[in-house]
Chain A
Amino acid sequence: MIKFIKYSFFNLIRSYWTIIYFVFFLIISSTILYFSADLTKSIVSMMNIVTVLIPLVAIIFGAIFYYNSREFTELLLAQPIKRSSLLIGQYTGLSLSLSLSFVAGVSIPFLTQGILASDHLIDFLLILMAGVCLSFSMSAIAFAIALKHEDRIRGFSIALFIWFFLAILYDGLLLILLILFKDYPTDYLAITVTILNPVDLSRVMIMLGLDISALMGQTSAVFLKFFGTLKGISISFISLLCWILIPALLIVKIARKKDF
């Protein structure tokens, strides 16, 4: 499997798109740092970008990468190797290269702004963690979808819809849900619904780190009330890991039955 991680990673890291993605983060975070009044505001702006854009890019790259290497995957699978080690290797290589572009692109400007010495270091690390988790999670979802649907148009449509649902639609639906049930205790509902969405989870995780109640949405506030900061962050992090593990297992499961 290590071989496949390596080949996918090095193949991708040289690609034009990875570099664009890196430069994009470089520019965006420099701009945010330049225009925001203080680091807290920068972190919040970064959070909004990370939680919406990373899922989108990861899901699109995941699908593109799978479809583009489709025939080569076939050639590799004709070698004496296990399907799961190839596909998980490719997926891991992809997620690593996405994560590296993101971490490097964001870290350079923040480091030059002295994030290490500031009291926002933890918040910044949480952003990085959230971004990396989202890269791994959403590209696994994209990979699983692409593996399942040979038809590219359909694969892309489903992947994009999932992004739209999780990153855009979900919060609105959650709000409606909470308003509908406002006469009932909705805390458990809010927690459950949040855990069911990796995008919300990463937002909650970052918010809890920032620990500014005024900025928190209702769900983050509920997490804080129920678990406190540390436990809240841990729970969101572990849930995020599940959001990586389950789609990754799904890749293995689909691959086992698939005709290449």
Chain B
Amino acid sequence: MINIQGLNKHYNKNHVLKDINLNISDPGIYAILGPNGSGKTTLLKSIIGLVIPEKGDIRVNGINVQDTPLYRNEISYLPQVARFPDNLRVVEVIKLIKDIRNQEADEFQLIDLFGLEAEMKKKLGNLSGGTRQKVNMLLGFLFDTPVIILDEPTNSLDPVSLTKFKKMIFEKKQQGKIIIYTTHIMSFVEEFSDKIFLLLDGRIIFTGDLQGILKETLESSLENAIVHLVDRNGNDKIY
């Protein structure tokens, strides 16, 4: 479904992604981990077509992402930071996105799930940060797509919403979707990941599942295992 080959990206002189190769074809939950600035967001944005790759090839369903925007019909994307026009109301933003996508969508179930009924008529500029993140999340799950990409979905959600979010992820997995996400919450990864990609300084230094990473590092928790791998790869960034 998603094939990345030899992807490289510089921001000016900063080499952010280095020879990334990544293949995802089976349904499941894929966690992309790595310290701040390791290139997770840049990698996800390259898949969604927001970042232009300078070298390498990114294909979704065999389609080169540079060729057409239409492959995005298959992908839902939740950005790391969500800001909306202050003037727009929540209903209006949902309507706009539905209008653009022209795809089947069931917002009512999601509005209900996140308890957003009371916020629907409010202007987005007046929402709390967490509520805005819920709207962001709602938009991310609005369409029934085979691929779901989530950049730090666990950001600023309260425990209740987090539980609901977990339930939703689980359901999506049951439905046979491909879910790719980043997070800094390791307990979440321990609970939800079929495969882990560990990024360090723009390079994938580990690919495998939870058992694999624990075994390779002989650590007992994911947190320690990652610190171990980061150290071993000669990086002293605090994680």
Contact = CB atoms under 8 A, between A and B. Distances in A.
A259 B50 contact: yes
A78 B100 contact: no
Given A11-B87, A82-B69, A259-B51, A76 B81 contact: no
Interface string B62-83: 0000000111110101010111
Given A78-B48, A78-B50, A81-B100, A69 B72 contact: no
Contacts, number: 67
A72 interface: yes
Interface string A202-237: 000000000000000000000000000000000000
Interface in B28-58: 45, 48-52
A74 B87 contact: no
Interface string A1-19: 0010001000110110000
A74 B79 contact: yes
Q: For this complex, into which size category does the number of interface residues on chain A fall? A: 20 to 34
Q: For this complex, into which size category does the number of interface residues on chain B fall? A: 20 to 34
Nearest to A85: B69
A76 B100 contact: yes
A77 interface: yes
B99 interface: yes
A79 B72 contact: yes
B84 interface: yes
B139 A75 contact: yes
A79 B101 contact: yes
In this complex, the member of A71, A80, A82 whose beta carbon has the largest number of chain B beta carbons within 10 angstroms is A80
B72 A11 contact: no
Contacts of A69: 85
Contacts of B50: 74, 77-78, 259-260
B78 to A, nearest CB: 9
Contact of A71 (B45, B79, B100): B79
In this complex, the member of B11, B69, B73, B136 whose beta carbon has the largest number of chain A beta carbons within 10 angstroms is B69
Given A15-B87, A80-B70, A80-B72, A75 B52 contact: no
A7 B51 contact: no
Given A258-B52, A259-B11, A75 B79 contact: yes
Nearest to B44: A78
B205 interface: no
B100 A11 contact: no
A68 interface: yes
Interface string A117-161: 000000000000000000000000000000000000000000000
B22 interface: no
A75 B82 contact: yes
Contact of A68 (B69, B77, B85, B99): B85
B96 interface: yes
Contacts of A12: 87
Contact of A14 (B51, B72, B87): B87
A13 B22 CA distance: 46
Nearest to B71: A80
A76 B93 CA distance: 10
A257 interface: yes
B52 A71 contact: no
A19 to B, nearest CB: 12
A71 B82 CA distance: 6
Contacts of A257: 52
Nearest to A71: B83
Given A74-B79, A82-B69, A259-B11, A11 B88 contact: yes
A81 B69 contact: yes
Interface of A: 3, 7, 11-12, 14-15, 68-72, 74-83, 257-260
6 contacts: A14-B87, A70-B83, A72-B84, A74-B50, A76-B97, A80-B72
Q: Which 10 A-B pairs have the closest CB atoms?
A: A71-B83, A80-B72, A78-B77, A260-B50, A259-B51, A80-B73, A79-B100, A78-B48, A80-B69, A11-B87
Given A11-B88, A78-B75, 12 more contacts: A11-B85, A11-B87, A12-B87, A71-B82, A75-B82, A75-B136, A75-B139, A76-B97, A79-B69, A80-B72, A80-B100, A82-B69
